[in-house]
Amino acid sequence: MADQTPEATALKQTPLDTMHRDLGARMVPFAGYAMPVQYAAGIIAEHNQTRSQAALFDVSHMGQIRLHGNNAAKQLENLVPGNIDGLAPGRMRYTMLTTGTGTIIDDMMITREDDGLFVVVNASRFDADLPHLQANLGGGIEIEVLADRALVALQGPAAAAALGELAPDAAALPFMAGRQFDLDGIDALVNRCGYTGEDGFEISVAADDAEALARRLLNDDRVAPAGLGARDTLRLEAGLCLYGQDIDDTTTPIEAGLNWTVPKRRREEGGFPGAEVIVDQFTNGAARRLVGIKPDGRAPARTGTAISTPDGEAIGTITSGAFGPSVGGPVAMGYVSINNAEAGTALNLDVRGKALPATVTALPFAPHRYFKA
């Protein structure tokens, strides 16, 4: 367990903090919170548990917001490139807040509710997102910060069966859909989504109910706790961007390979910040692109590693890199100039002063296994 230094005690705690420490988690600072990076089994075991059975992640540090008002979807659509107004009640969408130059303020998950939207944003960007929404949403929209709620992610091929023990109907929830369920007496908003590439659910509950729900799920032999370390290797293998590393306010959705988040209607109509830049890049291409990269050998290339061509021309930087347990070797993502972005392109990575050969690789590294009805 983490030492209770003044720095540690100043960190915010999630509603599951006591449980993490009871389970022997190694706690680290993350986005202003004390968060479990791993438990006794270790990151590789937690990663493999998620791929083979199911793991429970605490993501309560994420910001949860409700936008109340029948016009909330249309109003939010003025701030993002996604098709939010076209969402049916109970359906979800991934999108991002953009700047006037087309870069990304934050990425977010949005669920359409009968009278508004349920929005989940990154913890590190909450203090930027909230004033942005307050300043730019039109009148008649109430912004409710859900500070008294927890969020857990149940991920893996056994996730539906485990959650089905508490709410049998939850196992039939479509991918990218959400609704309220009674989970063995606990009221919860359950969304079928996640950031591991596996089938799974994100479950929002009142903070006071979080530990009871988490322990019930962990009592299932198919479920084990997992921390930030495994969450990072899982999302990297799945080719999923992490805000602050792979995307930020210097990158556009098109540079990040997120073209699919800008549908035809939004490209034609525009009306969102940075539309001119984003639509131009969609049509004509961007100067750089986020790509998958496989280094040769066993040594991972970490964030910030310089990327060059085999003849030494600097062409980009690694944004995320780690050993991929499911892949059996190192994997990475990084931005390279567009003429070096094709799968199969040979690269060199500057790893500890040595040129390590690598190859541009199609994403994802591990196949997505989301639920298909």
pLDDT tens readout for residues 143-156: 999 999 999 999 99
Tell me how far the alpha carbon of residue 170 is from its chain's centroid.
22
Does residue 93 lie in a domain region? no
pLDDT average, residue stretch 220-238: 98
Strands 104-113 and 12-13: unpaired
The CATH number assigned to the domain holding 331 equals 2.40.30.110
How many helices and strands in the chain, by DSSP H and E?
10, 20
**pLDDT confidence of residue 373:** 75
- Reading across the β-sheet that carries 116-121, which strands appear in turn? 92-98, 104-113, 116-121, 63-68, 142-145
Query: Is the bond preceding residue 367 a cis peptide, omega within 30 degrees?
Result: no
pLDDT average, residue stretch 273-280: 98
Residue 356 pLDDT > 60: yes
- Say if residues 97 and 105 touch (Cβ distance below 8 Å): yes
Does residue 94 lie in a domain region? no
Does residue 370 lie in a domain region? no
**pLDDT confidence of residue 139:** 82
Residue 9: pLDDT band by 50, 70, 90 thresholds? low
Residue 221 pLDDT > 70: yes
Handedness of CA 52, 53, 57, 62 (dihedral sign): positive
Residue 351: pLDDT band by 50, 70, 90 thresholds? confident
Query: What pTM did the predictor assign?
Result: 0.95
Residue 353: pLDDT band by 50, 70, 90 thresholds? confident
**What distances in angstroms separate CA 281 from CA 34, 107, 121, 262, one per listed residue?**
39, 19, 25, 11
Domain around 351: 287-361
Does residue 355 lie in a domain region? yes
Does residue 36 lie in a domain region? no
Residue 367 pLDDT > 80: yes
**pLDDT confidence of residue 138:** 83
Handedness of CA 171, 149, 105, 302 (dihedral sign): negative
Residue 6: pLDDT band by 50, 70, 90 thresholds? very low
Domains of the chain: total: 1
Does residue 174 lie in a domain region? no
Half-sphere exposure of 358 (CA within 13 A, CB side): 38
Structure tokens at 189: 């908003």
**Longest Cα pair distance anywhere in the chain, in angstroms?**
63
Does residue 341 lie in a domain region? yes
pLDDT average, residue stretch 106-124: 97
Residue 5 pLDDT > 70: no
Residue 1 pLDDT > 60: no
Q: Which residues contact 51 (CB under 8 A, 6 or more apart)?
A: 156, 157, 198, 234, 325, 326, 366
At which residue do the structure tokens 């991918």 appear?
175
Does residue 49 lie in a domain region? no
**pLDDT confidence of residue 3:** 37
Condensed to tens digits (0 to 9), the pLDDT of residues 292-332 reads 999 999 989 999 999 999 999 999 999 999 999 999 999 99
Residue 70: pLDDT band by 50, 70, 90 thresholds? confident
Which residue in 64, 259, 202, 26 sits closest to 146, CA to CA? Answer: 64
pLDDT average, residue stretch 114-128: 97
Structure tokens at 126: 């909450």
**pLDDT confidence of residue 2:** 36
| 354 vs 186 pLDDT, higher one | 186
